[in-house]
Amino acid sequence: MQNAKDSFYLALRTRLAAINPERTVLLRGAVRPGILVEEAEAPFSQFPNDVFVLRWLGLGVDFDLGAKMAAEQCEILYQTCGTQSFGGLDRGRSLSEMDEEMAAITQPFYTPKLNYTATPPALMLTNVFWDEPVFGPIVTQRDRLSRSANVMVYSYQEQGE
């Protein structure tokens, strides 16, 4: 299951870097594409703005199939206060931009499953695939707009996983 989670995140990260290279975040002294996995970073008292944050929630396993299939729920949170040059008045537009990027990085709805514990990452036999993202309503907190999107990520458990 961890390989599926890693592959999903890195697929989204690579796509985001291609779609909008300017969306970056400075984390742990390094500039990276503006997407991160919450559970792999230091705890946040508040999420950074203009960044996609992946949070893994539910898990289900189907044992009835020929190969065991796992379904994991991923919540992708993002928020913005707009830009300084517009005095934050463009926060709605900024969130729309993130909505579009969110929709774009999830397509196509699959990616090869890789094992990132190996160097270089080893290609596995199956793909990781997922549903269309389900967008939640906008939450307004004074000058901050936020939204979350839920994606169900599926993967077959391979030998040795």
Partner 1 sequence: MSDTAPRNPVSAPQMLADALLRSVAGSTALLRVTGASTDTSQSEVGLVATTFAEVVVSPVVMRKLSPSWEKNGEAKWELLVSATGIEQKVNAMDIRSAQSLFLMTLGVTVGGQDYLIESVAANEAFGQVYLYRLLLREAHQQAV
Residue 34 one-letter amino acid: G
Least separation, in Å, of the C-beta of 113 and partner 1?
A: 13
CB atoms within 10 A of CB 137: 7
Q: Is 40 in the site for partner 1 (CB under 8 A)?
A: yes
Cβ-based nearer residue to partner 1, 96 or 121: 121
The one among 1, 23, 26, 79 contacting partner 1 by CB under 8 A:
26
The one among 45, 84, 85, 141 contacting partner 1 by CB under 8 A:
45
| Whole-angstrom distance, CA of residue 2 vs CA of residue 50 | 26
DSSP single-letter state for residue 39: G
| Whole-angstrom distance, CA of residue 63 vs CA of residue 91 | 45
Q: Is 160 in the site for partner 1 (CB under 8 A)?
A: no
Nearest to 54 by CA among 116, 20, 96, 11: 11
The one among 23, 32, 68, 144 contacting partner 1 by CB under 8 A:
32
Q: Is 66 in the site for partner 1 (CB under 8 A)?
A: no
Least separation, in Å, of the C-beta of 6 and partner 1?
A: 5
Site for partner 1 in 88-127 (CB under 8 A): 116-117, 119, 121
Residue 69 in 3-state DSSP?
A: strand
Q: Is 84 in the site for partner 1 (CB under 8 A)?
A: no
| Whole-angstrom distance, CA of residue 102 vs CA of residue 130 | 14
Cβ-based nearer residue to partner 1, 6 or 101: 6
| Whole-angstrom distance, CA of residue 86 vs CA of residue 59 | 42
What is the contact surface with partner 1 in residues (CB under 8 A)? 5-6, 9-10, 13, 26, 28-32, 36-37, 39-40, 42-43, 45, 116-117, 119, 121
